[in-house]
Amino acid sequence: MTPTPQGLPESLGLHSQLLDLDPSETQEWLESLDQVVDHAGQNRARYLLLSILQRARDRRVGVANLRSTDYLNTIAPDAEPDFPGDEHLEQRIRAYNRWNAAVMVHRAQRPGVGVGGHISTYASAAALFEVGFNHFFRGHDAAGGGDQIYFQGHASPGIYARAFLEGRLTSDQLDGFRQEFSHSGAGGGLPSYPHPRLMPKFWEFPTVSMGLGPINAIYQARFNRYLHNRGLKDTSRQRVWAFLGDGEMDEPESLGAIGVAAREELDNLTFVVNCNLQRLDGPVRGNGKIIQELESYFSGAGWNVIKVIWGREWDSLLAADTDGALLNLMNTTPDGDFQTYKAESGAFVREQFFGRDPRTVAMVEHLSDNEIWNLKRGGHDYRKLYAAYRSATEHTGQPTVILAKTIKGWTLGSRFEGRNSTHQMKKLTLDDLRAFRDRLFLEIPDASLDAVKPPYFRPSEGSPELEYLQDRRRALGGYLPDRRVDCRPLELPPAAAYRIARRGSGRQEIATTMAFVRLLKELMKDPEIGHRFVPIIPDEARTFGLDSLFPSKKIYSPHGQNYLSVDRDQMLSYQEDIHGVLLHEGITEAGSAASWTAAGTSYATHGEPMIPLYIFYSMFGFQRTGDQLWAAADQMTRGFLLGATAGRTTLNGEGLQHQDGHSLLLASTNPACIAYDAAYSFELAHITADALRRMYGEPRAGEDQNVFYYLTLYNEPTPQPPEPPDVDIPGILAGMHRYSPAPAREGPTVQILAAGIAMPWALEAQRLLHTDWGILADVWSVTSWTQLRRDALATDDWNLAHPDQPPRIPYVTRRLSKSSGPVIAVSDWMRAVPDQIAPWVPGIWASLGTDGFGHSDTRSALRRHFGVDAQSIVVRALQQLAGSGELDSSVVDEAQRTYHLDTHRHDPQQ
Ligand SMILES: Cc1ncc(C[n+]2csc(CCOP(=O)(O)OP(=O)(O)O)c2C)c(N)n1
Ligand SMILES: [Mg+2]
């Protein structure tokens, strides 16, 4: 170290402000180190320092861990446990799976079908999965409940292949891979990837959108703890496994939540990263080392890291590496080279890898090229993997990541192994097939190696391999994946729970957000299901009034509250508790969406229906985490999404990035999402009651229970009217009800369709039309444009399919056909939201909306800017009447001038 001006060693920040209590002792230690370096060399010095660090760690001396270690297996050979299985039989089983997985994809590529699939990923991951299937993954029947396994999505052929060996899928079904409709054979086809919605008795966790598997697995493990800590279910024996790609780790979602897992000490979580060094196009880190990089990230975040880099063949070489020459090569060779070696030959590895140092050349002199070629990677060595999994499952206090080095396309032959194109290759030539069969030692005669339809291989029933495989799964609690839904309908809250919401707020002005929170508080008191509500909040509890739940429900924290809370004396103090109910996620919409998914699938995963309510700035929901919500739909999540601060003009002052005029449009694209845009508290009451009935009550024929609800909530306080005595509840649920009819008399009439916060504008327009222009108007509250559209689409489809029967009429058409006059729709959303129903609206249609970016200003200024305020509605209605000849067009001009709209016109989209 270079001395500083004061004569002290430069600290590199390691101990910059620590006092040296005994400088001469320090000096002695430093000199001893110098001596070792001078006389025994840097390698020896390094070894000694690492040993001292290890001892310091064992003795609990508070020194930071190294963030990366040598490019070696974490578990030393002499620390590996005995392997308890039958290695030979397991190797045979693996060979059958490898073959069937590849053949299945190959056959799906047959002429006339050509739907392909992925071969090389499973080929690299087979041992990673199989050591789990044979020794670790606990099925649903295991004592204490089973494990939850997130399989790498595009490795699905291998999972199907195993289910085939287990006798759960037929060869006919394998032939239906990626042909869900066109394959009419017994059992139909198989979806490409893990899609619970498409294969609901098999797949549990959708994973194929890269990055969502890792984050969802973390929050699943955390939710298991939550259930446990709240005393709802003993999940102490259940483990979450996530199998991930090394390329996949580039997704922000993959690494973005690893801190949560460490902070909450999720030792019920194991990540296994398949480090084949390749992604789709080429190397993951050609110039670097992905395993080392991931090691630093994970260990820096507080995970237990286990590297499985080298197979057992390397052990004796490393044992002979007295001066660290081999280690040096391992440490310094970039991944791009490691990839290339495995696409070449033993001679190439001798020359290009070992050949870089005369000492390593000598180390492998006694090995033939073939033997060098046979120096395997750790991720293909069953015993090394077993040791890693065992260590991970026994480790406490931290989640574990296993970084396993493999070869993409392993055993598929030189056209596949390590090639950049391997990810996209879907077919084997006859030569490939022959070589592959020989490599796997399969008893398939040459004659049956058909180039288009090579046979699947399944040993006879009763063979030692099948017996072994079945025994192992029996001992571990049954087959996986296996999605089961085993829960009874819930007893729903009585009508009384909704009384306050239906009564309105009297003269008090409250936003619908507050109205909903009040309703939620009532529902959470319900003795039957109150405890099942799981509010999920990314740091906006105070904005939405949910802080009122802090004292009674408390914020979940596995560590309780180990500090003196600053606001402990206040009514709504921030209270963390191990039994807390609220999931306060911090500022992470991605984490919240993952939590919501875990809670909303608890009815299946745990047989414990939970009712998650995730409340967020509506702008940061579908727009920011739309793909997660899509995956949640695949996983058949049930629950509530609450899009608070909805609308482009209602969130006071915030402007472009916050004001949401389009999330309802995005929500409409998710088929599992039922979206409502309620105006009033009483509407919310009926919608919520029906949502609970549908998702958690007795199933009804023809109604999918696997849906979730998106309710928009506004933050503008208005008086919440009481429910009208003759309220049209079916209308509220179907998507529209006539809230304020025109007085029963003759005269030009318009139909105003308004939604959410636009209702007060519409009612004001109704008044102005009448008082200023003598025009009548019916005002409808449209609670769901999307549900009206879906009904209309379904009706059209039915009519197309039943030409011989009287056509059915869509709900929206039916409701409006009895009313007279042009129709004008208005909402705080872009016009495409109401325009969803335009094709089915009888008569003249016009919509007003908030197209364009949001701006910062007062609500009234913004509404004028977008042309959606009461006066704008009036002018548009008059224009429609003029257009249909019911009014002179001069009235429109006059109205524009009266309301000063003539000077205000410009295109808000500019
Ligand atoms: C979000 C997302 N982006 C892109 C893809 C397309 N894709 C499928 S597999 C793949 C490469 C995966 O590489 P890696 O994670 O290393 O897995 P490997 O096949 O190498 O095991 C890509 C980019 C995807 N499935 N999801
Ligand atoms: Mg990869």
CATH numbers and ranges of domains, the chain: 1-64 (no CATH), 87-311+376-475 (3.40.50.970), 314-367 (no CATH), 495-719 (3.40.50.970), 737-898 (3.40.50.920)
pLDDT of residue 6: 47
Residue 503: both structure tokens together: 């009564």
Ligand 1 atom having least distance to the Cα of 246: 16
Residue of 875, 882, 870 whose CA lies nearest to 902: 875
CA atoms within 13 A on the CB side of 341: 28
Q: Could you report how far apart the first and last alpha carbons of the chain are, in Å?
A: 62
Ligand 1 atom having least distance to the Cα of 212: 1
CA–centroid distance, 275 to ligand 2, in Å, is 6
274 Cβ inside 6 Å of ligand 1: yes
276 Cβ inside 6 Å of ligand 1: yes
Residue of 178, 185, 75, 407 whose CA lies nearest to 274: 407
Predicted confidence (pLDDT) per residue in 128-148, tens digit: 999 999 999 999 999 999 999
Residues annotated within a binding site for Mg(2+): 246, 276, 278
505 with 515: CB under 8 angstroms? Answer: yes
Listed range (72-76, 649-653, 772-776) with the worst mean pLDDT: 649-653
721 with 793: CB under 8 angstroms? Answer: no
pLDDT of residue 11: 58
CA–centroid distance, 218 to ligand 2, in Å, is 20
What's the CA dihedral at 65, 71, 76, 81 to 10 degrees? 100
pLDDT of residue 3: 45
Ligand 1 atom having least distance to the Cα of 276: 20
555 with 577: CB under 8 angstroms? Answer: yes
Angstrom distance (rounded) from CA 653 to CA 715: 12
Angle between helices 622-634 and 212-229 in degrees, nearest 10:
70
536 with 613: CB under 8 angstroms? Answer: yes
Residues 6+ apart with CB under 8 A from 458: 96, 100, 164, 165, 171, 466
Predicted confidence (pLDDT) per residue in 496-510, tens digit: 999 999 999 999 999
Instruction: Give mean pLDDT, residues 879-883.
Output: 96
List residues, by chain if needed, whose CB lies under 5 Å from ion ligand 2: 245-247, 276, 278
CA–centroid distance, 252 to ligand 1, in Å, is 14
209 Cβ inside 6 Å of ligand 1: yes
Residue with tokens 């105006």: 679
Q: What residues form DSSP beta bridges with 616?
A: 643
Residue of 427, 438, 401, 129 whose CA lies nearest to 248: 401
pLDDT of residue 308: 98
Residue ID of nearest Cα to ligand 1 atom 19: 121
Residues 6+ apart with CB under 8 A from 334: 285, 286, 287, 288, 289
416 with 123: CB under 8 angstroms? Answer: yes
Residue 600: both structure tokens together: 């909303």
263 burial via Cβ count (<10 Å: 0-12, 13-18, 19+)? middle
Residue of 430, 434, 410 whose CA lies nearest to 422: 410
Residue 106: both structure tokens together: 């190959």
Angstrom distance (rounded) from CA 135 to CA 628: 32
Pocket test for ligand 1, best of 121, 271, 277, 280 (most atoms within 8 A of CB): 280
Q: How confident is the model at residue 904 (pLDDT cuts 50, 70, 90)?
A: low
Residue 379: both structure tokens together: 């991720």
Q: Does residue 714 register a pLDDT over 70?
A: yes
pLDDT of residue 663: 98
Q: Are strands 718-719 and 509-510 parallel, antiparallel or unpaired?
A: antiparallel
Residues 6+ apart with CB under 8 A from 264: 222, 225, 558
Instruction: Give mean pLDDT, residues 167-196.
Output: 92
pLDDT of residue 1: 41
629 with 670: CB under 8 angstroms? Answer: yes
pLDDT of residue 314: 98
Angstrom distance (rounded) from CA 769 to CA 776: 7
Residues 6+ apart with CB under 8 A from 541: 547, 549, 550, 582, 584
Residue ID of nearest Cα to ligand 1 atom 4: 210
132 Cβ inside 6 Å of ligand 1: no
pLDDT of residue 15: 75
pLDDT of residue 593: 98
713 with 740: CB under 8 angstroms? Answer: no
pLDDT of residue 144: 95
pLDDT over 90, % of the chain: 91
Residue of 637, 551, 557 whose CA lies nearest to 596: 637
Residue type, 199: M
pLDDT of residue 18: 85
Residue of 450, 481, 14 whose CA lies nearest to 202: 481
What DSSP string describes 367-419? Answer: S-HHHHHT--BGGG-HHHHHHHHHHHHH--SS-EEEEEE--TTTTS-TTTTT-
pLDDT of residue 902: 76
Q: Which SS3 state, helix, strand or coil, does residue 712 take?
A: strand
- Phi, psi (5° rounding) for residue 751? -110, 115
pTM of the shown model: 0.96
Q: Does residue 9 register a pLDDT over 90?
A: no
Q: Which SS3 state, helix, strand or coil, does residue 113 take?
A: coil
Q: What stretches of 230-320 show up as alpha helix (H) in DSSP?
A: 252-256, 258-263, 290-301, 315-319
Predicted confidence (pLDDT) per residue in 579-600, tens digit: 999 999 999 999 999 999 999 9
CA–centroid distance, 210 to ligand 1, in Å, is 6
Pocket test for ligand 1, best of 118, 150, 248 (most atoms within 8 A of CB): 248
Residues 6+ apart with CB under 8 A from 211: 248, 251, 252, 253, 254
Distance of CA 667 to the CA centre of its chain: 17
- Phi, psi (5° rounding) for residue 609? -65, 125
Residue of 619, 594, 668, 707 whose CA lies nearest to 209: 594
Computed from CA positions of residues 512, 514, 515, 516, in that sequence, does the dihedral angle turn out positive or negative?
Answer: positive
Predicted confidence (pLDDT) per residue in 795-804, tens digit: 999 999 999 9
171 Cβ inside 6 Å of ligand 1: no
Computed from CA positions of residues 56, 59, 60, 65, in that sequence, does the dihedral angle turn out positive or negative?
Answer: positive
Angle between helices 430-440 and 87-108 in degrees, nearest 10:
170
Residue type, 383: R
pLDDT, mean over the chain: 95
DSSP at 582: B
Report which of residues 290 and 14 the model is more confident about. Answer: 290
CA–centroid distance, 423 to ligand 2, in Å, is 9
245 Cβ inside 6 Å of ligand 1: yes
Q: Does residue 8 register a pLDDT over 70?
A: no
Residues in the chain: 910
pLDDT of residue 909: 57
Instruction: Give mean pLDDT, residues 456-483.
Output: 98
DSSP at 646: -
What DSSP string describes 486-545? Answer: --PPPPPPPGGGGHHHHH--TT-EE-HHHHHHHHHHHHTT-TTTGGGEEEEESS-HHHHT
Q: Are strands 736-740 and 776-782 parallel, antiparallel or unpaired?
A: antiparallel
420 Cβ inside 6 Å of ligand 1: no
Distances (CA, A) of 852 to 169, 216, 909: 52, 34, 4
Edge-to-edge strand ranges of the sheet holding 736-740: 736-740, 776-782, 749-754, 823-826, 845-848
450 burial via Cβ count (<10 Å: 0-12, 13-18, 19+)? exposed
545 with 518: CB under 8 angstroms? Answer: no
The secondary structure of 762-809, three-state, reads: HHHHHHHHHHHHCCEEEEEEECCHHHHHHHHHHHHHHHHHCCCCCCCC
Ligand 1 atom having least distance to the Cα of 154: 9
CA atoms within 13 A on the CB side of 256: 20
Q: How confident is the model at residue 12 (pLDDT cuts 50, 70, 90)?
A: low
The H or E element that residue 226 is part of is helix 212-229
Instruction: Give mean pLDDT, residues 680-692.
Output: 98
* Ligand with minimal distance to 335 CA: 2
Residues 6+ apart with CB under 8 A from 332: none
CA–centroid distance, 406 to ligand 2, in Å, is 9
158 Cβ inside 6 Å of ligand 1: no
Angstrom distance (rounded) from CA 440 to CA 694: 52
The H or E element that residue 193 is part of is none
Q: Does residue 732 register a pLDDT over 70?
A: yes
- The CA-based diameter of the chain, rounded to the nearest angstrom, is 109
DSSP at 6: T
280 Cβ inside 6 Å of ligand 1: yes
- Phi, psi (5° rounding) for residue 483? -90, 125
Ligand 1 atom having least distance to the Cα of 244: 15
Residue of 656, 666, 661 whose CA lies nearest to 626: 666
Residue ID of nearest Cα to ligand 1 atom 22: 280
CA–centroid distance, 270 to ligand 2, in Å, is 18
Residues annotated within a binding site: 246, 276, 278
Report which of residues 188 and 616 the model is more confident about. Answer: 616
